[in-house]
Amino acid sequence: MEKFVTLNASNLSSGSLLPIGFSSPCRKSAVSVQRRRVHVIRASIAVEQQAQTKVAVIRVGTRGSPLALAQAYETRAKLIASYPDLAEEGAIEIVIIKTTGDKILSQPLADIGGKGLFTKEIDEALINGDIDIAVHSMKDVPTYLPEKTILPCNLPREDVRDAFISLTAGSLAELPSGSTIGTASLRRKSQILHRYPSLNVLENFRGNVQTRLKKLNEGVVQATLLALAGLKRLNMTENVSSILSIEDMLPAVAQGAIGIACRNDDETMANYIAALNHEETRLAIVCERAFLTTLDGSCRTPIAGYACRGEDGDCIFKGLVASPDGTRVIETSRKGPYTSEDMIRMGEDAGQELLSKAGPGFFGN
């Protein structure tokens, strides 16, 4: 008997997408304000015992949150589309792995080891042969990869922008002075306080999307910011009050991107996931991670970076570093050919510029 995880997609959705300007984030678009009570989706995940006649061809490792599972099932669907034989029942097994980051919610990530805590146990399962591929949110992946693993595949990137969610206001600008915004992200905190110093930020506002929206409904905070990509993948965009432009809130490095890793000696799995790779997304992530690596970014460092293809086909990169209290924000931008070598160079050069401008002791670490 093998354990299989079945995601009940109907329980991940309580409405259709809103027509509120989901255009390319490289271009400005008007966003109509939608005010309504936030609907918290309580996703049900059923674990079923099913008799199997053969061992799974591909075991997919993932965290167990509704969003992580949605990403794993997106990966599964793309594998089946590329390799119809994998549609056979039991050919692809979803393996849920509990990570340290999921277990410890009472402390900031920086205090318990940083972003790698959302990937460490999954990487270990991959290296040990307990799973064949690992599906990660790329913004959770450290700038280094564990030995014996490679991450050659990125699925097409979702919308990179942040969504503003509130029961009482349509935007950050509409929040009364003294209002409290919940976020676990120093990147969001610093950019909010830089533009709206009269607002308060409740730190360590952690948990999955459903948990954060529940806290908002209970009045713990007056507003929160969430990645639009996750809300779209969960079919929960009816909760969005407005969408922040790239100019108002530069996204996290690799926000909206899904990465798929395998062992470096597993040619079979490397070939399977090669068919899923979206090269434009992969190159953008390479550029952004080169920027982050140069800055030696961590969960204690407010850093944002975004690379995309412009209308003329070139890469446009924007990056920033900030003081945690938002009193100082240093920005830069680059433009150049949309090729791996050039984009890595752009990311590294932008990082070096910001390091030089920030000076020693800027981050207080």
132 catalytic? Reply is no
Is 151's pLDDT higher than 90? yes
The SS3 of residue 352 is helix
Q: What is the pLDDT of residue 263?
A: 98
Residue 297, pLDDT score = 64
59 bridge partner residues:
93
Q: What is the pLDDT of residue 203?
A: 84
User: For residues 287, 290, 294 and 300, what is the CA-based torsion angle, rounded to 10 degrees?
Assistant: 90
HEC letters along 16-63: CCCCCCCCCCCCCCCCCCCCCCCCCCCCCEEEEEECCCCCCCEEEEEC
Segment 136-160 shows an average pLDDT of 95
What is the value of pTM for the model shown? 0.82
pLDDT surpasses 50 at 10: no
Q: Which residue has the higher pLDDT, 335 or 109?
A: 335
Predicted confidence at residue 114, as pLDDT, reads: 57
Q: What is the mean pLDDT of residues 99-105?
A: 57
Query: How much is the pLDDT for 204?
Result: 79
CA angle 284, 269, 58 (to 5 degrees): 115
Beta strands in 97-156 (DSSP E): 133-137, 149-154
Token digits of residue 334: 């680059």
**Which residues, 6 or more positions from 281, have their beta carbon under 8 angstroms from its beta carbon?**
154, 155, 156, 157, 257
Query: pLDDT per residue over 39-49, tens digit each?
Result: 554 443 333 33
**Binning pLDDT at 50, 70 and 90, where does residue 208 land?**
confident
Confidence grade of residue 264 (pLDDT, cut at 50, 70, 90): very high
Decide: 158 and 17 in contact? Cβ < 8 Å: no
In whole angstroms, how far apart are CA 59 and each of 4, 85, 141, 187, 224? 10, 15, 20, 34, 35
Phi-psi region of 150 (alpha: psi -120 to 50; beta: other; left: phi over 0): beta
Whether the pLDDT of residue 67 is over 60: the answer is yes
Catalytic residue among 102, 123, 130, 140: 140
- Longest Cα–Cα distance in the chain: 63
Give CA separation, 56 vs 81, 85, 86, 92, 130, in Å.
17, 12, 9, 6, 12
The pLDDT tens digits of the residues spanning 266-287 come to 999 999 999 999 999 999 999 9
- 5-9, 182-186, 208-212, 316-320: which range is least confident on average? 5-9
Q: Which residue has the tokens 């982050």?
A: 292
